[in-house]
Amino acid sequence: MGEDCRTQELTKQPKEAGDAWLKLENDGDAAVVVFLGEPHPRDVAVIDNKFVPFTRRLKAEGHKPVLRFTHNVALFETREVKVLEYGIAFFKDVLRVRHAFGLETWAVEVQRHGAAKDWWQTRYSLQPERRLSPEQQQSFQGLPLHDLAKLRVDASAAAEAARRGAAGARPPNARLVQYLSNVLKTMPRKRVERLLHHHLGMQQVGDVSAMRGEEWQTFVEEVAVEYQAFWERNC
Q: Is the pLDDT of residue 211 over 70?
A: no
> Which DSSP state fits 21?
B
Q: State the average pLDDT over residues 161-171.
A: 49
Domain stops at, among 133, 162, 191: 162
pTM of the model: 0.61
- Could you tell me if 144 and 224 lie in one domain? no
- pLDDT higher at 173 or 89: 89
207 and 95 part of one domain: no
DSSP letters, 210-233, are G--HHHHHHHHHHHHHHHHHHHHH
Residue 11 within any structural domain of the chain: yes
The arithmetic mean of pLDDT across residues 137-152, rounded, is 89
Spell out the residues 6+ positions from residue 231 whose beta carbon is closer than 8 angstroms to its own.
Answer: none
- For residues 20 and 113, state if they share a domain: yes
Please give the pLDDT value at position 225: 66
Do 165 and 217 touch, CB atoms closer than 8 A? Answer: no
230 with 134, same domain: the answer is no
**Same-domain pairing of 60 and 87:** yes
**Amino acid of residue 117:** K
Residue that finishes a domain, picked among 162, 182, 208? 162
User: Distance (Å, rounded) from C-alpha 35 to C-alpha 101?
Assistant: 12
Neighbours of 219 (CB within 10 A): 21
Least confident of 54-68, 164-178, 217-231: 164-178
Q: How many CB atoms lie within 10 A of CB 122?
A: 22
Residue 2 lies in a domain: no
What pLDDT, on the 0 to 100 scale, is given for residue 14?
Answer: 38
Query: Which residues, listed in sequence order, are joined to residue 87 by a DSSP beta bridge?
Result: 68
The whole domain housing 224 covers: 170-234
pLDDT of residue 124: 87
* Residues β-bridged to residue 131: 106
pLDDT of 116 reads 80
- Give me the number of domains the chain comprises: 2
Distances (CA, A) of 80 to 124, 149, 165: 21, 19, 34
3-state SS class at 83 = strand
